[in-house]
């Protein structure tokens, strides 16, 4: 079971890094970026490891008061996978959520993936463990299809050329609803089902 868990952790982050998952991405964050605050509770180095793989998350404060994230996976063939991200927290009913974005190799917001992904996170201070859970894409897809959220799902036509009749089809889930409506949507759902892709890390330097 332990080996199986690290594979799930690695693949989950690797899919995010390579942008081959279906999202969901959101045009709008959960809260105003100008009000962003650095969450000092998660500052530092967090890790998960087993006999063959090690996954590290480095959290630190950026100049604009966001949280910078460096993801590094040490694989059993001695190779590395890594990614650069940024986030800032939004608290909804005393639950912490991350407004998560990709960074490019220069450290700026990625132009190819400039939307937000949301995750729920919690910190257990007694055993120094950090749990991170990303949204369930299937549940969000169904909610968009049912009209609970405004957006498009994979396979949906988002534009068509009037001259060539060529159709542009979405390959990922994109939420275009307002921040307020997204928050109300989150409040209306079972958080354990909506944020079901869970990864747990322990503090590495304590």
**CA–CA gap between residue 206 and residue 193 (Å, rounded):** 32
In a domain, 161, yes or no: no
In a domain, 159, yes or no: no
Identify the pLDDT of residue 4. 35
Longest dimension (CA), the chain: 63
pLDDT in tens for each of the 206 residues of the chain? 333 333 334 444 444 443 335 568 999 999 998 888 899 999 999 987 766 667 888 999 988 888 999 888 777 777 877 788 899 999 999 999 999 988 887 777 877 776 899 999 999 888 889 998 889 888 999 999 999 999 988 777 666 667 766 666 676 788 999 999 999 999 999 999 999 888 888 898 65
Count: domains in the chain: 1
Identify the pLDDT of residue 28. 95
Name the residue range of residue 130's domain. Answer: 2-20+33-135+180-203
Identify the pLDDT of residue 17. 44
Identify the pLDDT of residue 51. 62
This prediction has a pTM of 0.81
Strands (E), 13-127: 25-26, 44-49, 54-61, 67-74, 80-92, 95-102, 117-124
In a domain, 144, yes or no: no
Residues paired with 151 in a beta bridge? 175
Instruction: Spell out the residues 6+ positions from residue 88 whose beta carbon is closer than 8 angstroms to its own.
Output: 29, 33, 36, 37, 38, 39, 65, 66, 67, 98, 99
Q: What is the DSSP letter of 166?
A: P
In a domain, 175, yes or no: no
In a domain, 27, yes or no: no
**CA–CA gap between residue 121 and residue 132 (Å, rounded):** 4
Identify the pLDDT of residue 184. 97
User: Domain with 100 in it: what CATH number?
Assistant: 2.40.128.50
User: Does residue 183 sit in helix, strand or coil?
Assistant: helix
């Amino acid at each position: 079971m332990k080996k199986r868990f690290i594979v799930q952790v690695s693949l989950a982050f690797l899919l995010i890094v390579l942008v081959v998952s279906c999202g969901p991405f959101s045009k709008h964050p959960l809260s105003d970026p100008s009000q962003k605050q650095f969450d000092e509770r998660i500052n530092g180095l967090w890790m998960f490891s087993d006999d063959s793989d090690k996954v590290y998350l480095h959290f630190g404060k950026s100049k604009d008061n966001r949280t910078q994230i460096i993801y590094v996976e040490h694989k059993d063939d001695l190779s590395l996978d890594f990614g650069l991200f940024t986030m800032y927290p939004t608290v909804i009913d005393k639950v912490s959520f991350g407004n998560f974005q990709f960074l490019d190799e220069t450290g700026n917001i990625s132009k190819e993936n400039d939307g937000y992904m949301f995750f729920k996170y919690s910190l257990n201070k007694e055993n120094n463990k950090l749990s991170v859970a990303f949204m369930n894409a299937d549940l969000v897809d169904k909610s968009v299809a049912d009209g609970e959220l405004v957006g498009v799902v994979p396979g949906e036509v988002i534009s068509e050329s009037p001259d060539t009749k060529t159709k542009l089809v979405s390959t990922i889930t994109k939420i275009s609803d307002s921040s307020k409506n997204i928050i109300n949507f989150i409040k209306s759902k079972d958080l354990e089902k909506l944020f079901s892709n869970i990864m747990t890390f322990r503090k590495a330097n304590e």
